[in-house]
Amino acid sequence: MTSEPNLVTLKAGELSLGLVPEIGGSIAHFRWRGIDLMRPLSPGAAARRDVLAVASFPMVPYANRIDGNRFAFAGRDYVVQTNNSPERFNVHGTGWKSAWTLAAQDGGLAELTLDHHGGDDPYDYRATQIFRLAPEGLVLETTIENTGAEAMPFGFGHHPWFEREEGVTLAFTASAFWLEAPDGVAGDRISLPPELDFTAGAPLPPGWRNNNYGGWDGIAEISWPRRGAGLRMAADPIFGNLMLYADPAKDFFCLEPQTNVPCAFNKAERGERDLGIIVLEPGDRIGGTICFTPFAV
């Protein structure tokens, strides 16, 4: 019989944060005044350890897909494995598929760590997430260190899931839009057309979206007028990309701050630039912070 995963709970003022380290180092819930600001992990999904049902999970050692499950870097070819059947290609790396360790908990702070050593992929790394909950909001700091013997390309991000309901609006500013190619990989980069621009705020799109916005300025706001609440994400400049997934047939959508463009490692092979790739030498580490602040609507 499977035991229930450990739920780590932090509280500060009107905010509550639940973490499930064993399920991909994920957020189980994030609530303000009893209102869910991310889609909460249900007890049944927690018992199944269903990482696709969490409120948010980390994307390390890169965000989004590896086209063809292979890439070349510094004259070497690397292979990764399919990790989200029935999808054909590896998506979001290994962090969300791993059990993390609760390294520290003190008041409104929790630290989760993951030491990953190769296996079915070419990466050795140590990742850390530090969650700081205060009455004003949540500060999430993610760091990643190359613990391998070779320089490697890295990326990271977070993958929040939000509840879709009537009247929801998004607002964020970006400068580029990536078309979607078959199998969910990123296609061509184009200038941002007015129909796809959320600078002035707009409702969720009525059709399918699974696209990266490049040149993101690091600020995004989501408003749920029916529940009288909104959420502001403010990310460090290292998070230059924002992924939007919205399917009108689903009761959720995703808005994902990330450092790298989807399929960035593959695109770099073809000479494309400004992809958000972070090359870490052995022992090098890098990080970034995202602040999640609730507001009344």
Q: What digits encode the pLDDT tens for the residues 129-184?
A: 999 999 999 999 999 999 999 999 999 999 999 999 999 999 999 999 999 999 88
* pLDDT confidence tier of residue 2, bands split at 50, 70 and 90: low
Measured CA distances, 143 to 18, 146, 181, 198 (Å): 20, 10, 30, 29
Give the model's pLDDT for residue 183: 87
Kindly tell me if the per-residue pLDDT of 241 is higher than 70.
yes
Kindly tell me if the per-residue pLDDT of 86 is higher than 50.
yes
According to CATH, the topology of domain 8-296 is Beta-galactosidase; Chain A, domain 5 (2.70.98)
Could you list the beta-strand ranges (E) of 54-122: 56-59, 70-73, 76-79, 101-106, 109-117
Give the model's pLDDT for residue 118: 79
Higher pLDDT pick, 3 / 53: 53
CB atoms within 10 A of CB 95: 24
Contacts of 92 by beta carbon, 8 Å cutoff, 6+ apart: 57, 59, 62, 63, 64, 83, 84, 159
Domain ranges of the chain: 8-296
Instruction: Tell me how far apart the alpha carbons of residues 182 and 83 are, in angstroms, rounded to a whole number.
Output: 17
Residue length of the chain: 297
Instruction: Tell me how far apart the alpha carbons of residues 76 and 179 are, in angstroms, rounded to a whole number.
Output: 28
**Which amino acid is present at 168?**
V
Mean pLDDT of all residues belonging to the chain: 96
CB atoms within 10 A of CB 286: 16
Burial pattern 229-252, b for ≥16 Cβ within 10 A else e, equals: bbbbbbbbebbbbbbbbbeeeeeb
